[in-house]
Chain A
Amino acid sequence: MDKKIGVYICKGCEIGESLKIEALEKIAVSQYKASVCKSHETLCGKEGLALIKQDISEGVNAVVIAACSQRVKTEVFQFGPDVLLNRVNLREQVAWCHKPNDEDTQMLAEDTMRMGIVRIQKMDYVVPYQLEGMVKNILVVGGGLTGMTAALETSRTGYDVILVERENTLGGWVKKQTKLCPTQSPYEAIEDSGMIEALMREIDQASNVKVYTSATIEKISGAPGLFDVTIKQNGNSVSERAGAVINAAGAVPYDAGKLGHLGYGTSKNIVTREQLEELAAGGKINKPSDGKTAESVVFILCAGSRDKNHLPYCSSICCMESLKQAKYIRTQNPEAKVYIIYKDMRTPGLYENFYKAVQQDDGIFFTKGEVTAVNGNDAAVTVEVKNTLLGENIKIEADLVVLATGMVPATALGEAIKIVVEDEKDKKENQPPAPTDIIIRSNILNLDYRQGPELPPLKYGFPDSHFVCFPYETRRTGIYAAGAVRSPIDLASTMEDAAGAALKAIQCVEMASRGEAVHPRAGDRSYPDFFMQRCTQCKRCTEECPFGTINEDEKCNPLPNLSRCRRCGICMGSCPERIISFKDYSVDMIGSMIKNIEVPEDYEEKPRILILACENDAYPAIDMAGMNRLTYTPYARIIPLRCVGSTNMVWIADALSKGIDGVLLLACKHGDDYQCHMVKGSELASYRMGKIKETLDRLKLESDRIRFELVAHSDFNKIPNIIDSFMETIDKVGPNPYKGM
């Protein structure tokens, strides 16, 4: 389709007062041959919009709006899928933060116009991908409380489910519990297992839930909408196709064998939470050593949890579970004395009611304390506790000691592997390899992915999300973790979590079927094209994609799975051959924008710096600096990026060879508390910049010309200082020697 570009410049909101609009129009018409270029006092008003729409009806199919930031008036400037649209920010980033009617401000506006028009010139119409054979059913791996709930919630919403459980019956951990901690308001009483049985019954009756018990996942390949699943059941392999996957593999108790310091193994009468549950299931809770009634029972909470030598985290449920088990003992034997030694009693929210209810029992004694010793043998055990609330150190003679062991996610169990690309060049130059995920071979999903067989875990093996706002973020598109596998979690929250994950899985299959990306670029229909003829099989894209989108064939050619793609463009940034492009976002597009910045030869007057800014955080922060009328150097040219991780090194080269004096990347925080919504984008950009700095040094170009700064969304007040101090550095370094060449 031929592009007919219309450029529309708004004069409202101080733009008209501070800029020479005719000069901007001239650039559009003369320099860039826009078919139409018009200006209006209020482009977003009825008249202004009518103006644009009129032109569209007369054939304009690519619209550049040079007005306010792309973040505002989005609902107004919408012209349908057949019209390309680009916004040029003359308000927040020009008129509002720079001197009006100033030569430098005008030059900034002109460059911004140039970049904006070039961008749309390089843009193409997005046609969503069409994939054959897409399905909308959901595979749930794990048939415990999480898995059963996820399966049922999915089924109730009208989607088919495949439920795979390792054991020969559904139910998982909860089914092994004699009774359950309260799951319902007022959260006071222990519940029987009726709830679990009801779930099992409903699954049994649901026509759209297919259950595989005694079954494991041998392999999952494919992508959202197209997952090919091989299920191994009783030695046979069954193939199924699923649209999305929920990993509900649950957790296992922490290995009590490591709790020797709490006496585990020294006496039969020192048991774990799980063992106590088994005793309770057998009827009367007696001393395992001699079968006599346990008259004095000590619960040691945080046994192995909140302990830097074991599980540093809190296992969340042990307080509640111990309260429940204390009641088991007291209900059976009204003469029994039960001691609960806690670090902090953690019964959050309305679970406080349960704590309160159990406290009422005469024979249950609570104290905060640190267990210093558990001594004994099968005949007798004593527990010594210090820092108690009783005002002294105490010693308790116990018939039975229960260690409230914590939980370890199933995903944490297995060999940790790191799939690294052997880059000969890097090796020679002693470069560190690109940061990649560690994968734990936990034998749950067995993904047939280039990036490893399981979900990449975060700390302690939980494949959870690192985002407060987006707890269902996943680094393997279409595969959602839920329940205890994702975080130590109580029963009621487990069920909510399962329902939430079910929604996300359903959402994923729906969006994938429409060719849309899921969070964070939800709804984006663009996708990466690989120009395979030029591929050198360097494997960078396959390795660096944070979402595991790309597989490889035997010859190391990338095999993209489009419905796994999150459209961040990190692959595009990683590719040294620049063969990866989106219709509306490409190496060439940004490179051309950079090349169209006019760089005056005379540095003293007019240095130039390029700012590549994350469009979700740094770019809004710069906007807000403008809204707050903060000012900074007008020599900076700002380009928003989908993710700073999509920065291709060639852009830096383009900028420097063009004579631009410095490049500033404004990215999100990376590291342990990363804020990059593309997970690894910022980190990868930082890694690449580290490499380019060395290259610059070799070329006798000062590495100070490249700076990588972390900017949060709320840092608008720091923006002027960040930009200006980079400008100062550039001033010190001096003009780019390539200027004018």
Chain B
Amino acid sequence: MSDNKSILVVGGGMSGITAAVEAAEIGCDVYLVEKNPTLGGRVAQNNQYFPKLCPPSCGLEINFRRIKDNPRIHYFTLAEVESIAGQEGAYEVKIKVNPRYVNENCTACGDCAKACSTEIPNEINYGMDTIKGAYLPFSFAFPSRYVISPQIIGTPDAQKCKDACKYNAVDLDMKPEIVDLKVGAIVWATGWQPFDAGKVEYYGFGKHKNVINNVMMERIASVNGPTKGKIVRPSDGKEIASIAFVQCAGSRDENFLPFCSSVCCLASLKHSRYVREQYPDAHIYIFYIDIRALGKFEDFYTEVAKDQKVSFIKGKVAEITEDPATGALTVTAEDQLSGKLSKETVDMVVLATGMVPATAQTKIPADVSYEENGFVLWDQKKRGIYGAGCVRKPMDVAAAVQDATAATLKAIQSTVRR
């Protein structure tokens, strides 16, 4: 069914979904490959988008509908690209589809999850809570089909799941499958990973319980997150009276990520709004080097800055200490405008950690150029495979969608060139 006019999109996050639907609506056949059990990627884990504070699931709903309605889009979940051979206009790709242990009979009724007693760390919530070994990642998940974690395969629990299913949807004998595809061009949109803040010793991330990173903050603020949307201290579940945001936690730092991750300033501004909505009196401190709210995003910054209890302190935090008795944290920075050290004791600290391109770790199995941090380049001499979204450079969601749209056009050009 696949041919040289079709396009392979790798990564089912915002960029990948965009690439897939934009190409398909023009009239191309598209194969969308996602390594997780559902589409949606990183944005599906976000609570709201800046600057509108609207839920990402709303746009995903439309995009999922576009996928459902479009017979030209073929998607694979729990799948990865094994190999790519050939060249622009004629690629042969092997896709490995990992077992879900749940087949298309699944109605998402949830009986398997009821039957399963094992709880596994919930990766969607960055391990802040647990989830059943048989689960539906999100209520709005697409495909709306349960997954059985490989962690419970072989345990009696797996059998219990199978027994509980009325629709013969649990198949514990599923094996990885290889799918061969012929495509004319490839859009690579495997996105980004949050920078591991544990590498920056002086923040105590992973050591001090109340130091979290920005992606965890998204989950904490999400109504389907580990705290049902209530922002509380991870150490003891207490409400907070003060919170500090530490910008450039690893970004713009040659020891870690030399580049600016572009979105963290706005993410923290947004988080300050989450906090304010729940705590009208909380003190919010934002420690920064430069606030980077470009274009009309400036309005959002201006809006947050009007809040009397949000303090912007020009100075990077380079020390966070914990009071072991109370779990309170003291953050230290030089307030450069006063020229004094600023030490604030707060209930919680959010590290504005940046983006590491997925391609820093997992390279495309083909001849593709990268810059030094692992971001994919659009190399004029190597056409046919195009990075899209955050594998190309750090960017916000709207920019990723634009970028994916542009990459898709390049991919289509690759299919018409020969």
Shortest Cβ distance from A47 into chain B, in angstroms? Answer: 11
Query: In the complex, which residues of chain B have a beta carbon less than 8 angstroms from the beta carbon of A503?
Result: 22, 26, 405-406, 408-409, 412
Tell whether B139 is near chain A: CB-to-CB under 8 Å: yes
Tell whether A346 is near chain B: CB-to-CB under 8 Å: yes
User: Which residues 302-361 of B sit at the A interface, judged by CB distance below 8 A?
Assistant: 302, 314, 336-337, 339
B296 adjacent to A712 (CB under 8 Å):
no
Tell whether A186 is near chain B: CB-to-CB under 8 Å: yes
Tell whether A194 is near chain B: CB-to-CB under 8 Å: no
The answer to whether residues A500 and B167 also contact, given A42-B107, A507-B22, A523-B25 and a CB cut-off of 8 A, is: no
Most chain-B CB neighbours within 10 Å: which of A14, A71, A387, A489?
A71
Give complex CA distance A308, B302 in Å.
10
Question: Which of A151-159, A573-581, A723-731 forms contacts with chain B?
Answer: A151-159
The answer to whether residues A185 and B371 also contact, given A12-B166, A352-B252, A352-B259 and a CB cut-off of 8 A, is: yes
Shortest Cβ distance from B297 into chain A, in angstroms? Answer: 7
B167 adjacent to A716 (CB under 8 Å):
no
Query: In the complex, which residues of chain A have a beta carbon less than 8 angstroms from the beta carbon of B139?
Result: 624, 627-628, 716
Question: Which of A25-33, A395-403, A459-467, A695-703 forms contacts with chain B?
Answer: A459-467
Query: In the complex, which residues of chain A have a beta carbon less than 8 angstroms from the beta carbon of B110?
Result: 627
A624 adjacent to B54 (CB under 8 Å):
no
The answer to whether residues A352 and B26 also contact, given A157-B409, A157-B416, A313-B299 and a CB cut-off of 8 A, is: no
Tell whether A74 is near chain B: CB-to-CB under 8 Å: yes
The 8 Å CB contact of A469, one of B51, B59, B295, is B59
Tell whether B27 is near chain A: CB-to-CB under 8 Å: yes
Interface size class, chain A: 35 or more
Tell whether A237 is near chain B: CB-to-CB under 8 Å: no
A75 adjacent to B68 (CB under 8 Å):
yes
Tell whether A544 is near chain B: CB-to-CB under 8 Å: no
User: Which residues 40-56 of B sit at the A interface, judged by CB distance below 8 A?
Assistant: 47-49, 51-56
Tell whether A468 is near chain B: CB-to-CB under 8 Å: yes
A496 adjacent to B402 (CB under 8 Å):
yes
Query: In the complex, which residues of chain B have a beta carbon less than 8 angstroms from the beta carbon of A351?
Result: 260
Give complex CA distance A325, B241 in Å.
46
A487 adjacent to B296 (CB under 8 Å):
yes
Tell whether A605 is near chain B: CB-to-CB under 8 Å: no
Give complex CA distance A391, B393 in Å.
35
Shortest Cβ distance from B400 into chain A, in angstroms? Answer: 9
A470 adjacent to B401 (CB under 8 Å):
yes
Tell whether B294 is near chain A: CB-to-CB under 8 Å: yes
A14 adjacent to B223 (CB under 8 Å):
no
B406 adjacent to A497 (CB under 8 Å):
yes
Q: Mark A356-373, 1 if CB is under 8 A from B, else 0.
A: 100000000000100000
Query: In the complex, which residues of chain A have a beta carbon less than 8 angstroms from the beta carbon of B262?
Result: 348-349
Shortest Cβ distance from A413 into chain B, in angstroms? Answer: 18
Query: In the complex, which residues of chain A have a beta carbon less than 8 angstroms from the beta carbon of B294?
Result: 314, 316, 346, 348, 488
Give complex CA distance A342, B339 in Å.
18
A713 adjacent to B140 (CB under 8 Å):
yes
B167 adjacent to A42 (CB under 8 Å):
yes
Q: Mark A591-616, 1 if CB is under 8 A from B, else 0.
A: 00000000000000000000000001
Give complex CA distance A620, B26 in Å.
27
The answer to whether residues A344 and B402 also contact, given A468-B54, A510-B26 and a CB cut-off of 8 A, is: no
A675 adjacent to B58 (CB under 8 Å):
yes
Shortest Cβ distance from A461 into chain B, in angstroms? Answer: 11
Question: Which of B1-9, B124-132, B285-293 forms contacts with chain A?
Answer: B285-293
Most chain-A CB neighbours within 10 Å: which of B70, B104, B295?
B295
The 8 Å CB contact of A471, one of B21, B105, B398, is B398
Give complex CA distance A12, B167 in Å.
9
Query: In the complex, which residues of chain A have a beta carbon less than 8 angstroms from the beta carbon of B412?
Result: 157, 503
A346 adjacent to B292 (CB under 8 Å):
yes
Q: Mark A715-726, 1 if CB is under 8 A from B, else 0.
A: 111000000000
Tell whether A54 is near chain B: CB-to-CB under 8 Å: no
The answer to whether residues A500 and B402 also contact, given A14-B109, A314-B295, A470-B59 and a CB cut-off of 8 A, is: yes
Can you list 30 A-B contacts (CB < 8 A)? A186-B372, A313-B296, A316-B295, A349-B260, A459-B299, A464-B296, A466-B52, A468-B52, A468-B397, A469-B58, A470-B401, A487-B296, A488-B294, A489-B295, A496-B406, A499-B409, A500-B403, A506-B26, A519-B62, A523-B70, A620-B140, A624-B139, A627-B108, A673-B51, A675-B52, A675-B54, A713-B140, A714-B57, A714-B58, A717-B228
Instruction: Identify the 9 closest CB pairs spanning chains A and B, nearest first.
Output: A469-B59, A500-B405, A714-B55, A499-B406, A713-B58, A344-B290, A503-B409, A185-B371, A624-B139
Give A contacts to B, CB under 8 Å. Answer: 12-14, 42, 44-45, 68, 71-76, 153, 156-158, 185-186, 306, 308, 312-316, 342, 344-353, 356, 368, 387, 389, 391, 459-460, 462, 464-472, 487-489, 493, 495-500, 502-504, 506-507, 510-511, 518-520, 522-523, 616-617, 620, 624, 627-628, 668-669, 673, 675, 677, 712-717
